[in-house]
Amino acid sequence: MNAFFKRQLADYVEYHRNPWNGAMHVFGILTLFFAAILPLSLVPVQILGVQTTLAPILALPVLIYWLLLDVALGTAILGFAVILFAAAAFVVHHASVAMVWSVTLPLIVVGIGCQVIGHRVFEQRQPALVDNPSHFLLGPMFVTAKLFIALGLRSDLAAIIRTDPQNQPPSFSEEHQVGPLPRS
């Protein structure tokens, strides 16, 4: 785990203290990822003689990013992604294009709804990505980190996620806050 990821995760945790918000994020993130890859799975692509779809090709950069942040978490996410790619391929092979889109659009609404409800109802604050757009990519890492902690696999992550907010180093957003302008 690199220092950049530690700082980002510590900042992200501040927006995700409520366990119900965490549960909403698990469901919302999985739903949104599936909704993103489902229509992309409709587009066949052949690369170096291998037949695939646009979904894994466009997901590859973010999957590599997650691996670079933390190899173990990134590998777990890659495993989840493979399962979701297989599920998307199954749906695409058994449904019409119209049906794929009629499933995708409600999945997007449900996924975003889970995120909004998690933050507004349970956390009672705005989503982390409003203050730091890079947090859009941290959600899957956070959810996977929580899974690893629950399984007793990563005490280093538990130290970051479960620390007392008063004893944490300043977050990214706190480090970059600008005070009020002086009055003239």
Tell me the one-letter amino acid at 98. A
What does pLDDT average to over the chain?
84
More confident residue, 179 or 74: 74
Annotated domain spans of the chain: 12-163
Phi, then psi, of 88 in degrees rounded to 5: -65, -40
Closest-CA residue to 143 (of 34, 6, 62, 28): 28
Token look-up 């889970």 returns: 114
Phi, then psi, of 75 in degrees rounded to 5: -65, -40
Predicted local distance difference test score (pLDDT) of residue 78: 96
Report how far residue 141's alpha carbon sits from residue 1's, in angstroms, rounded to the nearest whole number.
12
18: left (phi over 0), alpha (psi -120 to 50) or beta: beta
- Least confident among 14-28, 30-44, 159-173: 159-173
The answer on pLDDT for 177 being more than 60 is no
Closest-CA residue to 92 (of 103, 106, 80): 103
Confidence (pTM): 0.79
The answer on pLDDT for 166 being more than 50 is no
CA dihedral 79, 81, 86, 87 (to 10 degrees): 120
**Tokens at 155, concatenated:** 């005490």
Question: pLDDT digits over 44-83, tens only?
Answer: 999 888 899 999 999 999 999 999 999 999 999 999 999 9
More confident residue, 168 or 44: 44
At CA 54, angle to CA 30 and CA 50, rounded to 5?
120
Question: pLDDT band for position 182 (50/70/90)?
Answer: low
Strands 44-47 and 50-53: antiparallel
- Least confident among 23-27, 150-154, 167-171: 167-171
Sign of CA dihedral 45, 48, 50, 54: negative
